[in-house]
């Protein structure tokens, strides 16, 4: 089992390095501690776990932080599992504009609109 654990750790470290590079390239003035690796389409909605197109640096702070998106993910996953929202619709909404999806399903938030590509500010 030790070998399997080593390979899992090596895979996690490689993934972390790729994420760090993505943040640095996307937001050159960013502090890595201000972001976390996130799945654009969450795993509970059949998002691809290792697909680079499904991974992005999500801000930990600010109005549209990781906590807000996590709340939406939980809600959408529950709605899909309960059969109240089709899986494809949930995937499309969260991938296209998760903030609009948040407003639709959760209802609170700012009037600002943005896609998952949150610009880094001063």
Distance CA 111, CA 106 (A): 14
Distance CA 57, CA 69 (A): 12
pLDDT digits (tens, 9 = 90+) for 22-74: 655 666 566 778 888 889 999 999 999 888 888 888 888 899 999 999 999 99
Q: Domain extents for the chain?
A: 2-105
Q: Give percent of the chain with pLDDT exceeding 90.
A: 46
Identify which has the larger pLDDT, 68 or 115: 68
DSSP class of 52: G
């Amino acid at each position: 089992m030790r070998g399997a654990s080593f390979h899992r750790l090596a895979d996690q470290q490689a993934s972390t390095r790729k994420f760090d590079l993505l943040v640095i390239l996307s937001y050159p003035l960013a502090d890595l501690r201000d972001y976390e690796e996130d799945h654009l389409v969450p795993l509970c909605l059949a998002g691809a776990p290792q697909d680079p197109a499904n991974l992005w640096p999500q801000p930990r702070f600010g109005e549209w932080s990781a906590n807000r998106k996590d709340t939406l993910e939980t809600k959408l996953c529950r709605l899909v599992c309960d059969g109240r929202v089709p899986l494809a619709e949930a995937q499309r909404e969260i991938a296209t504009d998760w903030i609009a999806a948040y407003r639709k399903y959760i209802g609170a938030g700012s009037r600002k609109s943005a896609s998952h590509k949150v610009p880094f500010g001063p």
